[in-house]
Amino acid sequence: MSRVTLSRYLIEQTRNHDTPADLRFLVEVVARACKAISHAVSKGALGGVLGNAGTDNVQGEAQKKLDVISNEILLEANEWGGHLAAMASEEMEEAYQIPGRYPKGAYLLLFDPLDGSSNIDVNVSVGTIFSVLRCPEGTETPSEASFLQAGTEQVCAGYAIYGPQTMLVLTLGNGVKGFTLDREMGSFVLTHESMTVPESTKEFAINMSNQRHWETPVSRYVAEMQAGATGALGKDYNMRWIASMVADVHRILTRGGIFMYPRDAREPEKPGKLRLMYEANPMSLIIEQAGGAATNGHQRILDIQPESLHQRVAVFLGSKEEVERITSYHHHSEA
């Protein structure tokens, strides 16, 4: 039986699920950009791409050389195809307008070009996260407001993970598929037909070094997991933490678990650390499509109405049973 490439899968989606042809082309372009980023990442010191770029991004974080390279790869790959009205990147303060010499399309693309880039220099898995929205009708020049749509409005979301294998994980709203890059063929091949998150789990992912800064519901929940089989939850848990959201979420998609990045007392004015538009929304759509759940501790992430392009949010996502538990603890603390 012949292998199903990403291109073939997308064509079949157009035939069987009425996926618009221009969305199919857009996903293929993003996938090609991810292949180029994978190649750059894999070169490491040989390509002179390790270390800091000497600049900061819009959040004031030091940019790695590969942050800048990955951002440019995605912009250049997607600006000329005629599928996009505009783009937005975690690395850029404002929306990126399609140059006037190119035609414009019906979609908006948002991306975190290289998630987990603090891990680059130590050769740990990193990735690219992307999200696609429809551009509001009648919009000639998309502004920041054009992007401020709830996560439920996403028409597509995905991520690429650059690990021992390069994989592209994708949802078009009818389940989650995983594609592995065959470097000899140069194509992404369907290898994970239906990725699902187990409803219950015995693994959790959180940065324990921040424990002293957590809110009470998070401290309670983690303490119960640490108590193990003799504690309130009645089972032993393992902790995993890679410090790359793509890698942590990929593990959860593969074998279950809960990923937590709560708000904390160091910056009480901020509702969280992760970016709603570039990280939380696309990952929440993927997790929900795989049978999991995602909240900010109080409400479903996909229902949050964005107020700014670089808005931050607390994130609890993964196995439904565990996400519902930590969310209920937040609700109890409000009562």
Pairing assessment for the beta strands 258-261 and 274-275 based on DSSP bridges: unpaired
Tokens (6 digits) for 196:
């699902």
CA distance 303 to 169: 22
Q: What is the DSSP string of 241-257?
A: --S-HHHHHHHHHHH--
| Binding-site annotation: residue ranges for Mg(2+) | 90, 112, 114-115, 279
Annotated binding site for substrate: 115-118, 207, 273
Whole-angstrom distance, CA of residue 34 vs CA of residue 155: 19
List residues forming the annotated binding site.
90, 112, 114-118, 207, 273, 279
* Tokens (6 digits) for 200: 């219950």
> Rounded to an integer, what distance in angstroms lies between the CA atom of residue 242 and that of residue 212?
20
Tokens 């399609």 belong to residue: 98
Residue type, 240: R
Nearest alpha carbon to residue 84 among 32, 147, 42? 147
What would the DSSP string read from start to end of 43-82? HGGGGT--SEEEEE-TTSPEEEHHHHHHHHHHHHHHSSSS
Contact 326, 221 (CB under 8 A): yes
